[in-house]
Structure 1
């Protein structure tokens, strides 16, 4: 039991580090949106361990990434959104990964949390009007919806095959 917990903590720690690298150094940033693969380690945590570990990976990655490699001022609203996204990934994808569940998770995360909530945080943080900001962010949201559905669909097949090989 202790070995499993240690293994899980090490894996989650590596996923935090990978998320920070992907999010901070391997994404295309603009002042009001970012396109990249930073969601992948959080989805891996969600599929393997569930909602709470995925939320911890996402929230901790956002906080540590913002402190160690700031892109702008730290704002706790983004950390809250990141943790909520991890929670959503875990709720939808931990037990089963069907295209409907992947689509539902992507829809909630991109349309509700990223587009609506993160747009609110940007508006509050920079004093920008919400409406025009919302409209400009719809383009990146559309790109991320397509990218996430395809990436997660492929990734869950690989993780499923990995899990089957590991248990044989």
Structure 2
């Protein structure tokens, strides 16, 4: 699949729709608790990673975080969360693009994102922006990660099965 086939107008439109879905799901269809936010924004980001790869997924995730924070602010913008979002898209793309999307592969991607990015890195950002003690934040965030990871693994694995047929439509092989 050439780079040019990915830059077709229909693919750019699909990326824009996935970006819009990420913003809507993270800003309007999330559950905000005192310290954590439960969101379904992983769905369009993982779909972007599966279909388009690490760089487009990272850009959609990073732009989604930035645009969501600017258009629908909840507090002051902090670039650390955008970095984490960018890295989240990168991980999904690295683990799921052009690969057989097994439960094990999805679990590895979700595990890295949950433990390294959400649990440790985002907890540092929360500590920096709120002034709360890092270790005091961890128990609640661990519970969230343990509860959300199995759900994310199942949803992404089911989503991957549905996207396999769509990939042939999005990236047809060049004739001749």
The bucket for the TM-score relative to the shorter chain is over 0.9
Which consecutive segments of 4 or more residues in structure 1 shift more than 3 A? 1-4, 161-167
Q: Structure 2 CA distance, aligned partners of 1:127 and 1:90?
A: 33
Please give the TM-score of this superposition, normalised by the length of structure 2.
0.89
Alpha-carbon spacing, 1:7–1:128, altered in 2? closer, same or farther (3 Å): same
Unpaired runs of 5+ residues, structure 1, are none
- Superposed, 1:1-168 pairs within 5 Å as 1=4, 4-96=7-99, 97-163=101-167
Structure 2: gaps of 5 or more residues: none
How far off is 1:130 after superposition?
0.1
- Map Cα deviations across residues 64-89 of structure 1 (whole Å, 9 max, x no partner): 00011112221100000000000000
Q: For 1:124 and 1:98, how far apart are their aligned partners in 2?
A: 37
RMSD, aligned α-carbons: 1.9
Q: Deviations over 1:28-62 (max 9, x none)?
A: 11232111211111111100110000000000000
SS of the equivalent of 2:20 reads helix
Structure 1: how far apart are the matches of 2:95 and 2:139? 27
Shift of 1:113: 0.2
Q: CA-to-partner distance for each residue in 1:121-160, whole Å, 9 max, x for gaps?
A: 0001110000010111111111210111011011111112
If asked which structure has higher relative contact order (CA below 8 Å, sep 6+), I would say: 2
